[in-house]
Structure 1
């Protein structure tokens, strides 16, 4: 068993600490090339990752960069620096620790390149930027260890793909590099181990600790039939806040967080110190809230995913999740924010936002208690990220294409990449690809003496300015008129809908829109009228496949005893009138209501897929002369209204031509243009950031739309068109979930023709986001309206 150096051992003894078994094992196995540690939140996994570094630098002091720490959040890197500084200073270790993120000053970043610290804490984007410099070989020459925290959060996004590609480059620059990956929530450890390392990293499991104490919050008020705000539960939530020291109140979207905080503040008659925290608020305001949390000065914080990950936020003893969590892994992660200590159970309460979410919350509670985490299998590494990686590599100096291909193949996500696919990406980086090669602006790489290099060294600056895979929504800064204080950001689309005098919620306060000035939204304080709500694109989570399957099993097993009486009676009434959906067949209901015909398809495929299903079904209904008028979708169903009834769902649900029809529809849809814009930006075809300033969202959209239309017409097989199709299929439209639904039901459906509205369909009539269908129905309704008007004159 490896012993701690005396200085560290003395520090632990003085604090009354002892190493947990998984921390000791990390110390014992410090020499292994890669390790994946799965440990519960509060289990000291970050310290476990750093112990070998601290021990090695304590025993063998040296100059230069020894360990690189990478996290998904800038705030997490800063927090780890503060926490690591304590043992280093108290043990008197000669170790310099610094963080490097987008918030680090230019002067400090330059100094870090010239004189790197022993431990550098950074993010995937900052690491990619460091690797783009010509002096990267010198900076990383002595690097011995990399610690990647919260790898599960990175592995699910393109940020993770970029990071893993960066690690392959680091291994070339630093032979013998050892890598450690840390995570608290992993649904498939072997798959993650294979993704992060080739060969797969050995897996260490820490003691999972005590079971979390989680339940549904009991309220006097019944949840509404639809909606996502959870306002009905404000009194019960406020009572829980009073009973606990610090409560984190999580929401799935920023807009919902703003609404809830506003209502909570109005009900807070005792003036308890509460705050709001989300990614659109100014950094200064977020840091102020974080400091108050650590100091124990706040009783409650209404928040979003910005507080999901492993920052130690002090004495948080309760988590409240408002709205169904949609994803069990996210729920477990959020629950872990409470009692952030080893062997202390986390306490959490779920607040369903509407009646159906009661059922979803029950399924999520069961999954959480069984530690049945959800997650979809990873596809191959995205090629737009690969294109950006090639450009980053070119910025650092000439490269051999065979060596770079072999290097990329050691990345788990790209192990199946063919040489033809790599060559196509390289050609795109060099010339813009087929159809764009005649334009000088995309002539970026050239062969010189057998190696690829930048055609114009000055283009390195433009490439570096656009490094990253995070696609910001088009945001405008919000400033207080007359003060210049930066409050945060709102969506450009929302800002364009405002007229002077309009009010909206922001940072929990009502502000009045005064006007636009120099690409900023100027506001003033307003305590009067009912506000509009700031619209944030954010992430609108879809219910995971695993949770949907659990809900369907719950229906099939009639396991309703744990549900509130009002929900049990609602489901019982559904069985009397129609039937409950089940896992073996797709339930389709057809009924008249208020002079129209309705069809409800209970696919349980998630909101994005159900939305796409609505678009496809209404196209087929239009072809069948059923005159669809519009539709609305939720995570579990799509409701379509039309002038003619659906009497046979078979032709509408026929699987054979569905993908072909989908791709035809997708080709001319705005989804494709939006997806193209994102992929083209990541791949380097479109530059959002330029030396003269950042393009506005409209400017970038205009540029990408022209490119998209050009490629559709003249080069439909261009690599970026292929990438766009791949991304659209698995992204905004989630067509894979539709195919999974059809596979699950094996093409069978349970069709019910009914005399009227059913209990399960009723909430869909209250849903927002109705999508109109432009077709025969509109013309027929105009004729009917005209005839009715003429009849009045007779």
Structure 2
């Protein structure tokens, strides 16, 4: 199709609009089996994806589902529906558009199954649920196109893996289905296109003009950032001045807790009472929707937010983005920058605010990467098998299936293209019996094979429970927060572990308000208003980002410069002092500093491998130091280094970095560690072994933890080769411990390790002493300290000589 139908073209003409080249290109190539558009934020990606659908339905109206739109956010699906209705209604097109998410009323969902709209806007989880119904072939009969929006965001998580398996299921029902992917600028378009493609068929790529360079810089403040910390409180006055100078400002944070704290401080300093809101995933949906509506109306001057506003929702007239704290990832920064001046060929304006001295360096490195269009990204690898197990159960809910056909279907999904038949059969066996150690229990006997060879649910009633637990998002165990009193309005959620630490009268922040904990009633945290100025902070989990490999490499490369004219004077002087006192880390080498401080020996390893990997490295190095008799006492890690303190100075670092011994230590540590149990619970829930929702009731975090811990211990003891234990180890290595980055660091460095013995703390190591999250080590150091304390007590009391004489006498009377 090369031309738009007359009503749609007239609508464009009336508004004085013309299609952008990439939009026309998408229309002309609409017959392609797979097509992916790479365009900058504000480039009209969504309209480009829908133009062929509007044109086809405008030319030849028909009943039934024509196009399925998949969004990573429920709010984005609702926003797209509002935007789509404008051309449809004004052009008089006979097209019905509806959205279907977890917030959609059950009555409307039933109607949509019976009478699907022309265009259905949904999420990966809702699509997976739709494919699980027996009437799925009827629901999707005649489906022509699927549009996956923000595919770059989905590609980084298990939600994307689940979506691609669902698309493989749709393709089996609708062989002529055309796939369209919409993505912001990414570092590897071919890799994203490979995920979207119906393997082994390729996916065509359309790349739009990237547009003008963004107007991005660091915020200039009167006060220098501190050496450590993540709150950026020093920048509050300067941020407020920027808010006053702009129409609407989005102030992004990397975590929800940081957003709450910053919003509280910003409000206290907001003497002019500028209208400011807060938006993040732990807030009550009603409160988020109020903030969103106020943004659309232009009522708010600033919104303190997290990743909940990262993606392509067009929220009002935003003309400035401020990123508080180092972005950790260049792609994420580009995505957030694009929220400002959300128009094609209009430069986005953004300011970076480093929270501390080291983040100044990271922010400058990120700025340089954005200007060079050098995006980062790390390949997630093969599709996870816990998602595959869930997909097998979803397929069984829809009716009997042949194993050969389901295996062939799954391997058309890019992330599972190299899935072996043995791996598939192991997952099928797990879904059928629960595995060797669990096959005696009736609750895990979920599938059975019929005489004709097809597989089906052993008990058809189990389909309801399976559907209730569809999804890959692992919610942090949270409790609802409401105002005290019957019918109190909801505020949001806090972590179960945080709630357990509260006592009556404690205060914390939620939704920018200080509230007082009154008690727990029917699993609801009841609170009242409080006028305190210094609350506790709710420990919202959110997403904890690690600095990407590419950004870390840029930082280390900056250290090779003779001087740093691009850095503020205070940071350039800090790095120069580090070079004078010690040296700066260098590419291809590992810098280790050793020095005495506070009566202990300190060791600093500058690995630049990201927080998860550096945390794991701290655990492994202290274990190796114990084995080498070096008596470590504890460690703390940041994105770029690990600080270890103990009783003995390190003389030879090489034995500590023996990769085989580090891996062996990791295996020993993982087996009995809480990290593995936490990872097991997540994978077991996704794979269907543990049900969080049963009969409309959701298990508490404590109940789910107890169930998963018992299962984990049982499998480790009686079935160590169980599929879920293998999956758990893969997931822990890939995510929580990030050992691949330690392995990469060791390979990159080899034996090029520089150990410097210093007389005092170095400038680069100083922030580590202020870093939270210290991990104590119980080992030989404790025994030595106790012995030293006993000796000192004996000497102080004058008993040391007597004790020594008695010990000598004992030896004389007991010759060996």
TM (norm. structure 2) is 0.96
Larger radius of gyration: 2
Question: Is residue 2:518 matched to residue 1:514?
Answer: yes
Map Cα deviations across residues 234-283 of structure 1 (whole Å, 9 max, x no partner).
00000000000000000000000000000000000000000000000000
Correspondence for 1:457: 460
SS in 1 for 2:703: helix
Q: Give distance in 1, aligned partners of 2:166 and 2:499.
A: 37
CA contact 2:179–2:196 (8 Å) conserved in 1? no
Correspondence for 1:635: 639
CA contact 1:503–1:529 (8 Å) conserved in 2? no
Question: Is residue 2:119 matched to residue 1:119?
Answer: yes
CA contact 1:655–1:747 (8 Å) conserved in 2? no
CA contact 2:611–2:639 (8 Å) conserved in 1? yes
Q: Give distance in 2, aligned partners of 1:172 and 1:389.
A: 14
Correspondence for 2:810: none
Question: After superposition, where does 1:174-189 map in structure 2 within 5 Å?
Answer: 174-189=174-189
Which among 604, 611, 620 is matched to residue 607 of structure 1?
611
Correspondence for 2:336: 334
Which among 472, 476, 490 is matched to residue 475 of structure 2?
472
Question: Is residue 2:770 matched to residue 1:780?
Answer: no
Going from structure 1 to structure 2, the CA distance change for 1:564 and 1:55 (only over 3 Å counts) comes to same
Q: Give distance in 2, aligned partners of 1:746 and 1:11.
A: 64
The Cα shift of 1:657 comes to: 2.3
- The worse-fitting range, judged by mean Cα deviation, of 772-781 and 703-712 is 772-781
Map Cα deviations across residues 175-220 of structure 1 (whole Å, 9 max, x no partner).
2000100001311011111121122311100011111000000101
Question: Is residue 2:601 matched to residue 1:585?
Answer: no
Correspondence for 1:595: 599
The Cα shift of 1:558 comes to: 3.5
Going from structure 1 to structure 2, the CA distance change for 1:491 and 1:370 (only over 3 Å counts) comes to same
CA contact 1:40–1:206 (8 Å) conserved in 2? yes
The Cα shift of 1:788 comes to: 4.2
SS in 1 for 2:526: strand
Map Cα deviations across residues 552-595 of structure 1 (whole Å, 9 max, x no partner).
11112345111111111111111111100011210001110111
Map Cα deviations across residues 705-733 of structure 1 (whole Å, 9 max, x no partner).
01101111111111101100100001111
Which among 624, 638, 647 is matched to residue 620 of structure 1?
624
Question: Is residue 2:433 matched to residue 1:445?
Answer: no
The Cα shift of 1:701 comes to: 0.5
The Cα shift of 1:692 comes to: 5.2
CA contact 1:590–1:647 (8 Å) conserved in 2? no
Question: Is residue 2:24 matched to residue 1:24?
Answer: yes
CA contact 1:68–1:119 (8 Å) conserved in 2? yes
CA contact 1:608–1:732 (8 Å) conserved in 2? yes
The Cα shift of 1:760 comes to: 0.7
SS in 1 for 2:321: strand
CA contact 1:598–1:642 (8 Å) conserved in 2? yes
Map Cα deviations across residues 661-693 of structure 1 (whole Å, 9 max, x no partner).
211211111111000000000000000000051
Q: Give distance in 2, aligned partners of 1:394 and 1:636.
A: 47
Q: Give distance in 2, aligned partners of 1:747 and 1:74.
A: 50
Q: Give distance in 1, aligned partners of 2:147 and 2:546.
A: 31
The Cα shift of 1:660 comes to: 2.0
How many residues get paired?
Answer: 794
Correspondence for 2:346: 344
Which among 383, 390, 404 is matched to residue 381 of structure 1?
383
Correspondence for 2:275: 273
Which among 397, 407, 414 is matched to residue 409 of structure 2?
407
CA contact 1:647–1:753 (8 Å) conserved in 2? no
SS in 1 for 2:470: coil
Correspondence for 1:231: 233
SS in 1 for 2:591: strand
The Cα shift of 1:746 comes to: 2.2
Correspondence for 1:551: 555
Which among 467, 492, 498 is matched to residue 494 of structure 1?
498
SS in 1 for 2:288: helix
CA contact 2:559–2:585 (8 Å) conserved in 1? yes
TM (norm. structure 1) is 0.99
The Cα shift of 1:538 comes to: 1.2
Correspondence for 1:196: 196
SS in 1 for 2:437: coil
Correspondence for 1:132: 132
Q: Give distance in 1, aligned partners of 2:341 and 2:791.
A: 68
Q: Give distance in 1, aligned partners of 2:556 and 2:537.
A: 34
Correspondence for 1:221: 223
The Cα shift of 1:763 comes to: 0.7
Correspondence for 1:396: 398
Going from structure 1 to structure 2, the CA distance change for 1:559 and 1:4 (only over 3 Å counts) comes to farther
Question: Is residue 2:335 matched to residue 1:314?
Answer: no
Correspondence for 1:533: 537
Question: Is residue 2:719 matched to residue 1:715?
Answer: yes
Correspondence for 1:324: 326
The Cα shift of 1:656 comes to: 2.6
Correspondence for 2:760: 756
Correspondence for 1:45: 45
Q: Give distance in 2, aligned partners of 1:8 and 1:87.
A: 7
SS in 1 for 2:12: helix
Which among 271, 276, 290 is matched to residue 288 of structure 1?
290
Please provide the CA RMSD for this pair. 1.0
Correspondence for 1:430: 432
Question: After superposition, where does 1:729-744 map in structure 2 within 5 Å?
Answer: 729-744=733-748
Q: Give distance in 2, aligned partners of 1:183 and 1:676.
A: 32
Going from structure 1 to structure 2, the CA distance change for 1:173 and 1:559 (only over 3 Å counts) comes to farther
Which among 251, 254, 257 is matched to residue 256 of structure 2?
254
The Cα shift of 1:781 comes to: 2.3
CA contact 1:586–1:749 (8 Å) conserved in 2? yes
Question: Is residue 2:650 matched to residue 1:646?
Answer: yes
Which among 657, 663, 686 is matched to residue 659 of structure 1?
663
Map Cα deviations across residues 414-445 of structure 1 (whole Å, 9 max, x no partner).
00000000000000001112221111110000
Question: Is residue 2:151 matched to residue 1:151?
Answer: yes
Correspondence for 1:668: 672
Map Cα deviations across residues 7-59 of structure 1 (whole Å, 9 max, x no partner).
00111011111100000011101111110100011010100000000000001
Correspondence for 1:98: 98
SS in 2 for 1:557: coil
Q: Give distance in 1, aligned partners of 2:745 and 2:443.
A: 45
Q: Give distance in 2, aligned partners of 1:144 and 1:288.
A: 36
Correspondence for 1:74: 74
- The worse-fitting range, judged by mean Cα deviation, of 191-200 and 336-345 is 191-200
Map Cα deviations across residues 78-114 of structure 1 (whole Å, 9 max, x no partner).
0000000010000011100000000000101000000
Q: Give distance in 2, aligned partners of 1:530 and 1:789.
A: 43
CA contact 1:399–1:453 (8 Å) conserved in 2? yes
The Cα shift of 1:792 comes to: 5.1
Q: Give distance in 1, aligned partners of 2:377 and 2:795.
A: 59
Map Cα deviations across residues 442-463 of structure 1 (whole Å, 9 max, x no partner).
0000111221000000000000
The Cα shift of 1:782 comes to: 3.0
Q: Give distance in 1, aligned partners of 2:685 and 2:362.
A: 37
Q: Give distance in 1, aligned partners of 2:311 and 2:45.
A: 13
Correspondence for 1:241: 243
The Cα shift of 1:783 comes to: 3.3
Correspondence for 2:484: 481
The Cα shift of 1:378 comes to: 2.9
Q: Give distance in 2, aligned partners of 1:657 and 1:787.
A: 36
SS in 2 for 1:289: helix
Question: Is residue 2:679 matched to residue 1:678?
Answer: no
